[in-house]
Amino acid sequence: MSPSPLPLVNLSPSGGKLISFPEASTLSTVGNLLVCAAVGLNRKLRTVTNYFLVSLAVADICVGALAIPCAILTGVGVPRHNLYLCLLMLSVLIMLTQSSIFSLLAVAVERYVAIFLPFRYHTLMTPRNAILVILVTWVLAFLIGLVPLMGWHKTPPDSGYCFFVFVVDMTYMVYFNFFACVLAPLVVMFLIYAKIFVTVKRQVRRIAAERGGGVGGAEGQAARAASMKREIKTATSLFLVLFLFTACWIPLHVINCFLLLCPGCPVPLELLLTAIILSHANSAVNPFLYASENPAMSAGDWADARSQKQEKWCQWGTLPSNMGDWGK
């Protein structure tokens, strides 16, 4: 007897949901497009850290434009009787999630180099190297997401419904995807940030003690203290992005573990749907986090970028006809 269809998607924002699938899709796409545009328009935002954050934003754009629409279709069992198209649609989110994790890992490593290898930073963390790292992470994410299409999947039911639990092998999702490709990088990132915070705070206390004891030049110590505080602020902001990603994605992976270890145990549909929406909502929230933690990505900086563009057009002797709408 083939399993009966279990529609998982509720398109309406009602029913106590904080956000619906269409809302998450729109916010993810538009918000992260603005992040990419802000970095592209403003030279002072073109840092190695922000290159990796743009890679993360591109993954979030794809979540809104591709993964969530695919989730809506597979949530009602579409496409039917087409296993490989079904697996491809279900694999899209796996690829994008993996790309996000690799981008976050690249950011953590970049901060580690900035703190612990400052004299080698400008040699290692060049824009060219950053772009190479981004390309490699996307290729790896693509290959990891394609594993189900290469044979690691369930035999589809006779009904042909394209539901995640019907066709995706939970051993792949738990042992390979979660433990090896998600949890291991997350642990590494948390350890990196823990070491950064401990080291920087220790240096701040040491500088404060030296200033109190009158050791060294006051101006030099003040500059070092200010630099260390900036590093703490930057690391805190980036750690918040990582923490939010973890909080949004771990519930769904825990449910996958439960489904594997107790296949006969029922999982409340509302709980599963909430975990799915929470994972998608992470992509929608990130742009707001960037803007709140980095004032250079706020609306005020759009005005600066707009002014810079208009100055360039004036120098070239041409102005766009819709100049007043630039940056809106």
pLDDT reported for residue 223 = 76
In the predicted model, residues of the chain with pLDDT beneath 70 are: 1-19, 211-221, 295-328
Per-residue confidence (pLDDT) for residue 227, from 0 to 100: 78
Q: Where are the beta strands (DSSP E) in 29-186?
A: none
The pLDDT tens digits for 314-326 are: 343 333 333 233 2
Alpha-carbon distance of 169 to 172, in angstroms, equals: 5
- What global pTM score does this model have? 0.84
pLDDT value for 304: 54
The predicted pLDDT at position 316 comes to 39
- In whole angstroms, give the CA distance from residue 20 to residue 12: 6
Residue-level pLDDT at 6: 46
pLDDT the model gives residue 19: 62
Chain Cα centroid distance, residue 169: 24
Residue with tokens 């290729």: 139
- Let me know: does 284 contact 31? Beta carbons within 8 Å: yes
pLDDT confidence of residue 220: 66
The position carrying tokens 């290469």 is 150
What CATH number should be reported for the domain whose range is 21-300?
1.20.1070.10
Helices (H) and strands (E) in the chain, counts: 12, 0
286 CB burial (10 A radius; 0-12, 13-18, 19+): buried
